[in-house]
Structure 1
Amino acid sequence: MRSLQKNLCNNDPDQVLYETMFVWNEFLTRGIRKHLKNTLWTVALVYGFFKQTTLSVSGRDLKLTLIARRSRHYAGTRVANDVETEQIVFEDVSDGLPTQITSIVQNRGSIPLFWSQETSRLNIKPDIILSKKDQNYEATRLHFENLVERYGNPIIILNLIKTQEKKPRESILRQEFAHVIDFINKDMSEETCLRFLHWDLHKHFRSQATNVLVLLGKVAAYALTLTGSFYCRVTSTMRPDECTAWPFSE
């Protein structure tokens, strides 16, 4: 329910702090946790994905862990969902703690605009209805302010929806989203402005001449160069100030 960085940099390691965004029974357990002033008698239920595997790189065995946490606040099927995905890598040692551990976190969410689709059994691709009730895009602005509060700057947006369609559907959202980002960035400094990347995933998947993983790797390298990755040397007497964010290099 909490990222590696939040766990290792917790100033009170004896107290398990609930990440209320990703704990689906947070409300049901709130009363007993407040009464007992601890979390020892409750179990946090997280809806998501977990996978761990061993990789061999240059003769060294590494553990690769992938964790996806789905927000309980945005539990829609398509129009509203928010998933935090964390990749953790550390050396696989036979005994004791790994000496070095690193992680990166990314967020996957729906386009933060007011839009909807009418469900229909006869139409598998219902029209996308774009609402214009938020003329100043305050909700979108608040969404990105929340991301900055949770993850810090810079915020890098990778937009994967279609560029061109015979009948405009997703491309309507794409154009409006690009307009919104330009609108918000007018009031932002160069350091805090939103980095917006367009990449038509569907188009590249259909092209046999395109190596999609290579292109996505370049996008990931660009993002990590800007944000860095969390790195920590783990010891039995580790202090929070021994954790840091390191620049990424290929």
Structure 2
Amino acid sequence: MTSENEQPDRITEVPKVSNAYLQKFRLYETRSNFYMIGRSKNRSAWRVLKIDRSEPTELNITEDPTTYTESECCDLLKRIHDGNKSTGGLRFVCTCYGIVGFIKFLGPYYMLLITKRRKIGVICGHAIYAITKSEILPIPHSTVQTSVAYSKNENRYKKLLCSVDLTKDFYFSYSYRVMHSFQKNLSTHESGNETLFVWNEFLTGTIHNQLRNNLWTVQLVYGYFKMVKLSIGDKDFKLTLIARRSRHYAGTRYLKRGVNEKGRVANDVETEQIVFEDVPEGFPVQISSVVQNRGSIPLFWSQETSRLNIKPDIILSKKDHKYDATRLHFENLTKRYGNPIIILNLIKTKEKKPRESLLRVEFAHAIELINKDFPEENRLKFLHWDLNKYSRNHLCIESNWLLLLSSCTKFKLPRAIKLFQG
């Protein structure tokens, strides 16, 4: 995160695109192994990954350390085919665009592959993709699979996995860390929260532990990505809107509320707006990145779902008298974004029957208590903004936001804001 008073810089050193990344893959099989052939974008480097198919319940992956040319790779595949002719030789399985991960239920391991993709945007030459088709393949050959692989429970778990639609709201990049903001991608400082927005982190754990790299896998971010062009006067710009949803403590609206013991709030979403000046290639470009974070009120509270009650009562727990979980949450935000943290509280001020206002009072008390332990310059800046009240009046939307921004100026509003709304 940039400092409070810093203005957008004219940037010439943007993240570079490297040809070291593998971006297209071909999967082959023999009776004893899968062979995945990966190549770089400019077809200058070819690598080989071998996955053992002889173990019914274990996953053994080996990466060939050699970087091949295209002709050398073809020769290698021919030798593998000739050496396995007695058991059917080498067979082409599919073209794919990265491994989503490996998973095991009761029996064999399965491999999840991206088999079709589409480009949805470009950031400084780095392509961003969405998944249009994926496949799941069992690793062991059918001749070594146990009866558990065909059991009723195994099939049920497999169907549950297949019900996750990877073609909706997931995106990835081979060369750009889409799980990080543009500002962090420019920074040489490594973040300690690398996998907060990586939804397939668990699925890739086994292969990463064995290979110690992520050449063969993609890191999936769940949220929203949109890039549009716009003009203001005689200048052209590219506007990119990115939303990243945390994989921690995520859930549906009423089933996940508040904060957990680790300081994770329900439905934590980081939203980034990047504006690029559209200039010819080779010219210095001005780029502005604004990041805001929203999430559930960091208190222990819940709501009981009911089809008969569209506004279920809010149940506020009193088990965290010292607000330790709330404190952990803001310590985590400070590590992610730096100080000061500005809290923009959007819940209602007045209600006929107190619901949200109960949280408002408790939240204010929590911040007051936490701030007593912080030095003046690091204290949480708390701003109330009754969104419901201002949305009902007759001022236009632009006037409402101008009023809000003028209220924020007393805090020297930085380029990262924390929003709370239920």
1:56 aligns with 2:234: no
CA distance in 1, matches of 2:338, 2:346: 22
1:216 aligns with 2:401: yes
Deviation for aligned residue 1:50: 1.0
User: Alpha carbons of 1:145 and 1:5: their partners in 2 closer, same or farther (altered >3 Å)?
Assistant: same
Larger helix fraction of residues: 1
- Specify the SS of the correspondent of 1:38: coil
For residues 164-220 of structure 1, the C-alpha deviation after alignment (integer angstroms, 9 at most, x for no partner) is: 111111111011111111111122221001111111111111111x23333324534
1:21 counterpart residue number: 196
2:387 counterpart residue number: 201
Deviation for aligned residue 1:93: 2.8
Deviation for aligned residue 1:143: 0.5
Deviation for aligned residue 1:223: 6.3
2:185 counterpart residue number: 7
Deviation for aligned residue 1:131: 0.3
Aligned residue type for 2:398: L
Q: Is the 8 A contact 1:204 1:212 kept in 2?
A: no
Q: Is the 8 A contact 2:390 2:400 kept in 1?
A: no
- Specify the SS of the correspondent of 1:150: helix
Aligned residue type for 2:401: L
Aligned residue type for 1:34: N
TM-score after normalising by structure 2:
0.50
1:119 aligns with 2:305: yes
CA distance in 1, matches of 2:385, 2:374: 23
Deviation for aligned residue 1:224: 11
| Identity among equivalent pairs (%) | 67
Aligned residue type for 1:219: L
1:1-250 to 2 correspondences below 5 Å = 1-10=179-188, 19-78=194-253, 79=257, 80-96=266-282, 99-208=285-394, 210-220=395-405, 222=408, 226=412, 228-229=414-415
User: Alpha carbons of 1:96 and 1:149: their partners in 2 closer, same or farther (altered >3 Å)?
Assistant: same
User: Alpha carbons of 1:227 and 1:76: their partners in 2 closer, same or farther (altered >3 Å)?
Assistant: same
Larger Rg belongs to? 2
Q: Is the 8 A contact 1:156 1:223 kept in 2?
A: no
Aligned length: 225
Q: Is the 8 A contact 1:90 1:98 kept in 2?
A: no
Deviation for aligned residue 1:136: 0.5
Pairwise CA RMSD of aligned residues?
2.3
Structure 1, gaps ≥5 residues long: 231-250
User: Alpha carbons of 1:39 and 1:214: their partners in 2 closer, same or farther (altered >3 Å)?
Assistant: farther
Q: Is the 8 A contact 2:348 2:388 kept in 1?
A: yes
